[in-house]
Structure 1
Amino acid sequence: MIGGSRLRQAGWAMALGIVFTLFVALTFRVHAVKSEVVRAERQIIALKQETMRLETEFETRANQQQLANWNAVDFGYVAPTAGQYLENERQLASLAQPLAPGAPDPIRVARAPQAGEIPEMVSPLTGKPVETLPASYQPKKPTGREQRSAEDDRPSLAERLGMTAELAPGQPGFGQNPKVAE
C-alpha cells in the first residue's frame, strides 16, 4: 500500500506541475494578445490622427485656391516686392503726412509726471478743489512700539527702505555693518 501511495503522490505532483506549466504558458499568451491589442489600438489612433491631419491639409489647400480666386477677381492683392520694405525708422517717419485740420491728437507715450504737474484733487460732487487734509484731522500720538526715544537715532523703516547699501567685498564696512547712504 505504501508503494501505491507514493506513486499516487508523484502522479498528483506531475499533474500539478503540468497544470502550473499550462497556466504559465496561457498567462504569457494572454499578455501577448493583450499587448497586440494595445498596439493595434495605438495604430488605430495614429491612423485617425493622420486622417484628420490630411483632411485639414486638403481643406486648407482648397481654401487657399478659393482665396486665390477671390483675390484675382475681387481684391487684386499682390505679394510685396523688395522695394516696398523700409530699412529703418527714418524712412517710415518720412512717409508721415502732416496732421489735417480737425484730426485727433497723436498717441503719446506715457511718462512719469514731473513736480508740479499733478493736478489738484477735485470733488466729483462740487467740482471744487479738495483740501489735502481735513480741518478735523489730528494725528495720533505714537504709543508702545511706535514711540521712539530722543536718544534713538536709528532711521525709521520708511527711511531705511529709501536708502541704498553699498555692499562690495574688499571694502571697509563689508560684512557686519555695511555703509548705508541716502
Structure 2
Amino acid sequence: MKAFLKKQWSNILFVILLALLIIPQTRMPIQVFVQRIIAFSPSEKKASERETLQDYNWNLQKLNAEEVNFSESKGKVTIVNFWATWCPPCVAEMPSFQKLYNAYGEKVDFYFVTSEKPKKVEKFMEKNGYTLPIFLQSFEAPKMLESYALPTTYLISKTGEIVIDEEGAADWNSQKMRSLLNSLLSE
C-alpha cells in the first residue's frame, strides 16, 4: 500500500484538487487565491492609443438609493470598476482596491459599479469590511465605458483620456499605479 501511495501521490493530489474545484463552497476561495497570485499591476495605455471620453452622462444609484450622475466626475481623475460578488477575479482584486481607495479616496473619484441586488452587495461589503463607493447600474454606461467582461476597470484622466482599460484582476495598489495616479493628479 505504501508503494502504491508513493507512486500515485501526485494523481491523488490532483483528484483531491479537482474535487475541491467542483464543490462551490471551496471553488470560489481557490479561484480568488489563484487570481491574487497572478494579478499584476494594470497596464497603462500608450498616449497615442488613448481615447478621450466625451459622454459623461450616466445615471447611477448609490447603495443608499441616492441618484448620482457620472458627469460630477468630469475634470477629475476617476476610476470606474465593473464587478460582481460572484466573480472570482473581481473578489480577488477588491483588497488592493480598498487599499488604493484608503490612500486616494479624497483625491480620486471611485465608482464600483454592479448590476447585482443591493442586499447581496451590502452583505458582501459588510462581511469583508470594504468601504468602497458602490453604485448600482440601472442605465447603460457611456459607449466608451461599455464592457462585457468582469472585472473591467477604467482610469480616466482630468481631460477625459482613458489611461487604463483593464479586463481581469490586477494589483491596483502597486507602486506603479500610485505613481501614475500621482502624475495624473498633478496635471
TM-score range with shorter-chain normalisation?
Answer: under 0.3
**Structure in which a larger fraction of residues adopt helix:** 1
Higher relative contact order (CA closer than 8 Å, sequence separation 6+): 2
**Structure in which a larger fraction of residues adopt strand:** 2
Give the TM-score normalised by the residue count of structure 2: 0.21
Give the TM-score normalised by the residue count of structure 1: 0.21
